Amino acid sequence: MPENTIYVIEDEPSIAEVVSLYLRRAGYVVTSIPDGQVALELLEKRIPDLVILDLMLPGMDGYSLTRWLRERSDVPVIMVTSRREEMDRIAGLEMGADDYVVKPFSPQELVSRVRAVLRRAGGTGKAAEGEQAIVFANLSIDPASREVQTNGVPVELTVKEFDMLYLLACHPRQVFSRDHLLERVWGGADYIDPGTVTVHVRRLREKIESDPSAPRHLLTVWGVGYKFEP
Ligand code: CA
């Protein structure tokens, strides 16, 4: 199995150093980058297997980098925030970060988080986003039992319907292109017609929307793809 590559994007030398040291000891190939703009240039050339990202960076901040990454890639992102940025880390998760650690953190804990996130990312896409049920006012999605309920009534979904709904719901308001959904839900098998996604979205709407012709959750973003509105 090839070694996982990790970018540590962090401008505090002491933190960058200790994090890199621990990750290298754990067997990862680490590139330490102290500047957001430089990080962007490196990411444009190559996206690693995981990104550890400080929020406050010179050059380009962690939010902008996450947004840039999320438009292009599923690469797992672990955000590093300080206590003062408590609110920010929630925004970070909403923006698509996979996990976060709050300074000061133990490097060993960060290594554990890295392992966990990479394990989830290495899954086949089946409920690989995390284990927690997602509950909204009229819709609940439980990845452990793979059960979906609307207004308390169980809904029967196929495997792919469930996987797609769960993926979208794990990233509220994030737009997924059809290719991206094919990649994540169907494993990018190139014999599958992109129209498959359209069909699955339509079926899902018939199952979970009270008015499938005027969906509230599964929205089409014209010319781009689909997103989940909580
Ligand atoms: Ca910083």
Residue 81 CA to ligand 1 center (angstroms) comes to 8
Residue 106 CA to ligand 1 center (angstroms) comes to 17
Last residue of a domain, one of 63, 96, 121: 121
Residue 218, domain extent: 134-228
pLDDT in tens, 179-211: 888 878 877 655 667 778 888 899 999 999 999
Evaluate whether residue 127 is within a structural domain. no
Residue 33 CA to ligand 1 center (angstroms) comes to 11
Residue 35 CA to ligand 1 center (angstroms) comes to 9
Question: Both 115 and 138 in a single domain?
Answer: no
Residue 82 pLDDT = 76
Residue 12 CA to ligand 1 center (angstroms) comes to 6
The length of the chain is 230
Instruction: Give the C-alpha separation, 110 to 226, whole Å.
Output: 33
Residue 186 pLDDT = 77
Give 183-191 contacts, CB < 8 A, sequence gap 24+: 183/74, 184/74, 184/125, 185/125, 185/160, 186/125, 186/160, 187/124, 187/125
pLDDT in tens, 55-113: 889 999 988 999 899 888 888 999 888 766 555 656 666 667 777 788 888 898 899 88
Residue 135 pLDDT = 84
Last residue of a domain, one of 121, 155, 190: 121
Residue 178 pLDDT = 86
Residue 45 CA to ligand 1 center (angstroms) comes to 23
Residue 92 pLDDT = 63
Last residue of a domain, one of 78, 97, 121: 121
Residue 13 CA to ligand 1 center (angstroms) comes to 10
Residue 183 pLDDT = 79
pLDDT in tens, 68-77: 998 888 889 9
- Rounded to an integer, the average pLDDT of 17-36 is 94
Instruction: Give the C-alpha separation, 59 to 9, whole Å.
Output: 11
Residue 184 CA to ligand 1 center (angstroms) comes to 32
Residue 206 CA to ligand 1 center (angstroms) comes to 47
Q: Which residue has the higher pLDDT, 121 or 175?
A: 175
pLDDT in tens, 122-178: 643 333 445 678 888 789 998 878 889 998 899 988 888 888 999 899 888 889 988
Residue 105 CA to ligand 1 center (angstroms) comes to 14
CATH code where residue 73 lies: 3.40.50.2300
At a CB cut-off of 8 Å and minimum separation 6, what does 104 contact? none
Residue 189 pLDDT = 57
Evaluate whether residue 12 is within a structural domain. yes
